[in-house]
Amino acid sequence: MDTQDVHSSAPSTFDGTVLITGATQGLGLHLARDLAGRGATLLLHGRSRERLDRAAAEVRALSDGRAEVRTYLADLSDLDQVRSLAAEVRAAEPRLDVLVNNAVAGGGAQPRLRELSAQGHELRFAVNYLTPYLLIRELLPLLTASAPARVVQVASVGQSPVDFDDVMMERDYEGLEAYCRSKLAMIMSTFDLAAAGTPGSGVTFNALHPAHLMDTEGVRAYGLTPATSVEEGVRPTVRLITDPALAGVSGRYYDRFTDAAAHDQAYDPQARRRLAALTRELLGG
């Protein structure tokens, strides 16, 4: 099946409630624009109130004021704020049909600068892996109550194995390498979440690489030349969010529209057990 045929299977209307992290720019904002046009209720996350309000106003305007848009403010490099964000969503929202973990810390404008999260973890591991995992864990009761529901993990074709002897990359630090390790960790946990899902819970977990080197702030900040538009990444991501043909499909990694193989470490049971144990230790429980 070619790309156009796959894309055409996504419905033109979608009335579910979708939480998008990192929704003030790049892929997150473009997703919000697309889904607003389909009739979705949008929960937009950002870490800047000004940018968040601007994004919400833009999305509402594009739908001629018809889109229902609510905003949530949090710095996802702070796990305490992640927990607070989840608590706010649980308290305010009657349902959650889709969680899109899209927010990302890229390679950085100073790739040799090793940055830390609020809890002292390597920044990219924290934002790109620990935060999505924690957000899923905290919102899973709401997702389950809203089932059928979906979790869409925005990963990357750029994947490097996690070094369990130096997970926080205290030696030979490089931002893009940290990004690639964190994205593989995200994919590994996606597979585990799908495998551990309660039969009949109705919540699916899938990851995807949306497009190659999209024209985003993060790609340019690292010094890379964008190769595709952000719109190219919207189409495969919207498919995972809305396509009825993917109902019940879980534990997959997609390279755009193609059900693909991730890095070998994602299929290593011992590596996944080690990552799960480390995650429990770092997050508690």
What's the pTM? 0.93
DSSP state letter for 239: H
Which neighbouring-strand residues pair with 20?
44, 100
Q: Which of 72, 129, 133, 179 is catalytic?
A: 179
List of E strands, 63-197: 68-73, 98-101, 149-154
Rg of the Cα atoms in the chain: 18
Number of other CB atoms surrounding residue 267 within 10 Å: 12
pLDDT for 1:
36
Instruction: Please give the pLDDT value at position 63.
Output: 85
| Residue-level pLDDT at 224 | 60
Q: What pLDDT shows up at residue 4? A: 41
Place of tokens 């498919």: 239
Under a CB-based contact definition with an 8 Å cutoff, are residues 278 and 165 in contact?
Answer: no
**Look-up of token digits 């995807």:** 208
- As a whole number of angstroms, the distance between CA 150 and CA 99 comes to 6
**Token duo for residue 130:** 């620990």
pLDDT of the residue at 35: 96
CA atoms within 13 A on the CB side of 85: 29
Distance CA 102, CA 100 (A): 6
225-253 per-position pLDDT tens digit: 655 767 888 999 999 999 999 999 999 99
208 and 256 Cβ atoms separated by less than 8 Å:
yes
256, 156 contact by CB (below 8 A):
no
Pick out the chain residues at pLDDT < 50: 1-8
Q: Tens digit of pLDDT for each residue in 36-77? A: 999 999 999 999 999 999 999 999 998 887 889 999 999 999
Q: Could you tell me the strand order of the sheet in which 41-46 lies? A: 68-73, 41-46, 17-20, 98-101, 149-154, 203-209, 252-255, 258-260
Show Cβ contacts of residue 141 under 8 Å, excluding neighbours closer than 6 positions: 90
pLDDT at residue 285 in the model: 67
Q: Give pLDDT, residue 176.
A: 94
Mark whether 179 is an active-site residue: yes
